[in-house]
Structure 1
Amino acid sequence: MTQAAAAPEFDDSLGEAGAATPAFRARHALLRRLADVVCLPSSRVNAFERAMTADLLVDMLREAQTHEKLRVSRRLASLTEPPTTLVRLLLKAEFEVAEPLLRECPHLNESDLVDCARNAGLDHRRLIAARRGLGELVADALIEHGEPPVLESLLKNDTARLSYAGIEGIVALTRNDPRLLPYLLKRPELRPAHAYVLFWWADSEARRTILQRFAVSREVLQDAVGDIFSMAAEEGWQDPLSRKALQFIERRQRNRAAIEKSPFESLEAAIAAGQAGLTRDVAEEISYLAGLKPMTGLKIMSDSGGEPLAILCKATGLPKAAVRALWRGLRRPETDASGALVPALERVLITYDMIAVDRAQTVLRYWNWSLSSALTPALLKAIEEGDEAALDEYSVPQRTAMLALSKEFGR
């Protein structure tokens, strides 16, 4: 099909009075003829002639009325190669002018869509977000505005491609708009680095989804690097980079070296001591004995939902009773007036039952890696100042820590 055949006729029925007024008949006729030339097939007009005509149209349409722009927009919507200068002007015009192009023209290029996303209005962006085959650059431009209706449309668009940075941006936005969570959790681009951060502010249903989808086994990693543990031991574990990675992979969760320095003979003894009321000192000892840093332990024990307590106990080989002991030590109610378990504790105990030890260890170690090892002085300063504009300066675990901990520092 040629461009001329694809283009609809210039719509004379549009206009404030249904027809051009005598004073503007020349303008109306000129706009129509120029649009005719732009829509001619390449066999009738060359690229330079088409570009020259488009430039004339752009100059006229800048001062034209809305209904005149709309006529041209409808005419261009079926073209396979609409002129960029003309398209950009119409895409940034009133929504009713841009709508035919955004809805009906599948051939808009990425740069034009990015320009529209950054310089037009919310309604424009919502239509862009729903376009088929949307690329990462356009999606990133849409995400920059942080508009929930646009993001919801984008996340629902299963033909759109989202970048790692784009997903990370939406993750941060879900902290203040949890309605986006169900749609975000369905995206194939979502990675453990994102999901484990989402967990901290997700509701119970979303947390269950995250654990079921992202709490993966480390068996493949353990098989792949099993012989490297002995190499690192022979070197005295002097290389901090390999030591940190191997600590994430290894099967043993508890810190045996911490027992020698602890006032408690075991992790079980520390938890038993905390049943009467978890003090900061006891909580820190539990963290050390569980192979965690105090920052991670604090995050787990201060979590209002309680599911992290189940992850902690399952990963360290503690019985289900330890979950209730920690719950009691945190002075949280266990039963209601009728003697039945409170729903929150029941949910936490179900979490304990549903997750395997190795998978619980994966979650726990990821938290420990991302929430503590990345806390450099520069990152702490960025968290305190809410400087999320500097995210690109940091590594994956540093960005994870920033997102998860920013609320802890008074944001």
Structure 2
Amino acid sequence: MFDQAPERKPDMSALFDLAHRKSREGRAQLYEDVWNLFEADGSGLNEKERSIMTDILRRLSHDVEMTVRRRLAERLATNPDAPPELAAMLGNDQIEVAYPILMDCKALRDVDLIEIVRHRTLQHQLATAMRSGISPEVSDALVATGNEDVVVALLENQTATMSDALMEHLVAESERVDRYQKPLLRRPDLPKGLAKRMYAWVSAALRTYIVENYRFDPAELDDNVVFAMNDAVRESTGETESNDPSERLVDKLHAAGQLNIAFALKALRQGEVRLFEFAMAKLTQLRVELMRRLVYEPGGEALAISCRMLDMDLKTFLNIFDLTRAARGALTAGHRQERTHLEDFYKGLDRDSAAAVVRRWRQDPDFLSALNQLTATD
């Protein structure tokens, strides 16, 4: 048996001399030789030796073809024991080299990832955002770039971990940036309370997704969110403090608990049509612009649904129907036949169904689709 040869440390001065070779081919060979030595014996090197060898590789990397660096990067990315210094060096290389390291190399430390995100290109940031299992600190750095493409890639990476504070920030940003909404709602770690908050500004399709996947009662969502939605609309149009005397009167009566159906009917009988419209809008919790459409929609079914939701008796509803048509000069020859049809419609309409349609109107001004769905089942 032969005695085992003693472990041989690399000659650092010789390596430095070799690093100054003029031949490109020679430098490429040296690069691979040092790399293989570092990869094979990295754990046996002290801190100074590791630093020297990393520095040699860094200096040589500018003179080594990208195909060589890329090949080594792919090899290192799958090595669970890869030296962190080499991973960081290749992660800072051109994206063609850095990509496999950023995506897969487990040896790459958070501190290195954060530096790469802060100082390298958009492609480096995107690759990092798609990396499996990134930490909250790296997620913070990615969002801090302010690039929407990077944030979307992070949100779509369902293995990424985010702090509660970051998640709240992104939910708030999703009111302004529509692209964040869908990937946020599809994240398994999005808290239910934040999904409920998003209900106020996402599309009708995403509202349906929230109700179905977060198991909210739509009635509960409407009661808690509709006022915030209306306030946001009013703020965006500069209507936070109305100059309309009819609206101010309705607001005061509502605040005092004195607004009711009798007041709305009295206003209509006295020819105060605008006052009636504001009163009905407030009672149904709908925007006045939508309420006007509902009141004067041909056929009268929309008005019937609004009145039935308020538990209005048939006689009062028919009075309102006649008065609104008279106010618009719409008492045509077919009015009596239309009135008879509405009377039957109203009798067959239960309050819960009417309330469900009104809730739909609060979410989506496309009231005709909801109306058609209801009338199609009768």
TM bracket (short chain):
0.5 to 0.7
Q: What does residue range 163-182 of structure 1 map to in structure 2 within 5 Å?
A: 163-182=163-182
In structure 1, the residue corresponding to 2:293 is in which secondary structure?
A: coil
**Is the CA contact 2:78–2:104 (under 8 Å) kept in the aligned structure 1?**
yes
Contact 2:281 2:291 in 1 (8 A): no
Give, as a single letter, the amino acid of the residue that structure 1 aligns with 2:283: A
Which amino acid in 1 is paired with 2:171?
V
1:60-209 matches, cutoff 5 A: 60-62=60-62, 66-191=66-191, 194-209=194-209
- Match of 2:149, SS? helix
Is the CA contact 1:88–1:115 (under 8 Å) kept in the aligned structure 2?
no
Cα shift at 1:28: 1.0
Q: Mark the CA change 1:58 to 1:289 in structure 2 (over 3 Å): closer, same or farther.
A: farther
CA distance in 1, matches of 2:53, 2:99: 23
The question of whether the paired residues in 2 share the 8 Å contact of 1:58 and 1:86 is answered with no
Aligned to 1:80, what secondary structure does the other structure show?
A: coil
| Cα distance change, pair 153–287 in 1 and its aligned pair in 2 (3 A) | farther
Pairwise CA distance, 1:353: 8.3
Cα 1:106–1:340, aligned 2, differ >3 Å: closer, same or farther?
A: farther
1:38 corresponding residue in structure 2? 38
- Looking at structure 2, the residues matched to 85 and 287 of structure 1 have their Cα atoms a distance apart, in angstroms, of 67
Cα distance in 2 between the residues matched to 1:61 and 1:284: 75
Q: Work out whether 1:333 is the aligned partner of 2:301.
A: no
Query: What is the deviation of 1:57?
Result: 0.9
1:322 paired residue number: 283
Cα 1:196/1:285, change in 2 over 3 Å: farther
Q: 1:112 to 1:339 in 2, by over 3 A?
A: farther
Tell me the matched-pair count: 246
Q: Distance in 1 between matches of 2:58 and 2:252?
A: 68
Alignment partners' CA distance in 1, 2:136 and 2:185: 18
Q: Distance in 2 between matches of 1:348 and 1:116?
A: 55
TM-score, structure 2 length as denominator?
0.53
Post-superposition CA distance 1:99-156 (Å, at most 9, x none):
1212332332222222222222222222222222221111111112233333333223
For the residues of structure 1 that align with 2:164 and 2:70, how far apart are their CA atoms? Answer: 37
Distance 1:149 1:179 in 2: 9
Structure 2 letter corresponding to 1:280: R
| Structure 1 residue 176: Cα displacement | 3.2
Change (3 A) 1:153 1:347: farther
Task: Give how far 1:54 is off.
Answer: 1.5
Structure-2 separation of matches of 1:141 and 1:95: 19
Alignment check: 8 A CA contact 1:192 1:214 kept: no
The CA deviation at 1:277 is 8.6
Structural RMSD (CA): 4.2
Structure number with greater Rg is 2
Contact 1:277 1:329 in 2 (8 A): no
Shift of 1:83: 3.6
Distance 1:288 1:207 in 2: 33
Structure 2 runs not aligned, ≥5 long: 1-21, 218-243, 259-279, 307-352, 363-378
User: How much has 1:348 moved relative to structure 2?
Assistant: 8.5
Deviations 1:325-364 (A, max 9, x none): x44576541165566649xx99984474899xxxxxxxxx
**Equivalent in the alignment of 1:283:** 251
Q: Determine if contact 1:102/1:128 at 8 Å carries over to the other structure.
A: yes
Query: Residues 28-64 of structure 1, C-alpha deviation per residue, up to 9 Å, x if partnerless?
Result: 1111111111111457655553343122212322565
Instruction: Indicate the residue corresponding to 1:54 in structure 2.
Output: 54
Question: Which residue identity lines up with residue 283 of structure 1 in the other structure?
Answer: D
Look up the SS of the partner of 1:133 in the other structure. Answer: coil
TM-score normalised to structure 1 length: 0.49
Cα deviation code 1:74-118 (max 9, x no counterpart): 342233343444333322322101112123323322222222222
- Alpha-carbon distance change, 103 to 283 in structure 1, aligned in 2, over 3 angstroms: same
State how far apart, in whole Å, the 1-side matches of 2:62 and 2:292 are: 65
Is the CA contact 2:66–2:97 (under 8 Å) kept in the aligned structure 1?
yes
Bigger RCO (CA 8 Å, 6+ sep): 1
Kindly provide the CA deviation profile for residues 237-262 of structure 1, in whole angstroms up to 9, marking residues without a partner as x.
Answer: xxxxxxxxxxxxxxxxxxxxxxxxxx
Q: Please say if residues 66 and 97 of structure 1, whose CA atoms lie closer than 8 Å, have aligned partners that are also in contact.
A: yes
Q: Output the CA distance in 1 between the equivalents of 2:192 and 2:255.
A: 23
Map 1:202-217 → 2, pairs under 5 A: 202-210=202-210, 213=214
Q: Name the CA distance, whole Å, in 1 between partners of 2:59 and 2:153.
A: 34
